[in-house]
Amino acid sequence: NAGVMQNPRHLVRRRGQEARLRCSPMKGHSHVYWYRQLPEEGLKFMVYLQKENIIDESGMPKERFSAEFPKEGPSILRIQQVVRGDSAAYFCASSPTGTNQNSPLHFGNGTRLTVT
């Protein structure tokens, strides 16, 4: 099955540590979106990437957060010096094209980050 793969499923970090979340898009998909979801809340857009390019990072906090999608390998969402407020579920989604209105997003199962 070539679905969107995220790992790890669960990640526990202490305050001040770094968190690295990985997302491998579906086969043939070159567009990746990252979303943050707090418990009982909606999907907040963070960043949209194509291979080797950040297209829109308007939803990313200015500090401590970064994302990449290299030519080879998964997309990485990196959170430095985590704080308790970073605890959330982080979902990535992929699509074959970015602007085609007919392309649905396919979601991974998410990474649940807990900061202690």
Residue 86 DSSP label? G
Q: Which of 54, 98, 99 has the alpha carbon at shortest distance from 78? A: 54
Residue 73 CB partners (closer than 8 Å, separation 6+): none
Nearest approach, Cβ of 44 to other proteins (angstroms)?
Answer: 8
Do 17 and 82 form a contact (C-beta atoms < 8 A)?
Answer: yes
Q: Which of 94, 113, 98 has the alpha carbon at shortest distance from 5? A: 94
Query: Given the complex with other proteins, which of 3 and 66 has the nearer CB atom?
Result: 3
Q: Which of 19, 21, 48, 90: binder of other proteins (CB under 8 A)?
A: 48
Per-residue interface string for the shown chain with other proteins, residues 75-114, x marking contact by CB under 8 A: ----------------x-x----xx-xx-xxxxxxx----
Within residues 18-37, the interface with other proteins by CB under 8 A covers 33, 35
* 59 is an interface residue for other proteins by CB under 8 A: yes
Do 59 and 46 form a contact (C-beta atoms < 8 A)?
Answer: yes
Could you list the residues that contact other proteins (CB under 8 A)? 33, 35, 41-43, 45, 48, 55-56, 58-59, 91, 93, 98-99, 101-102, 104-110
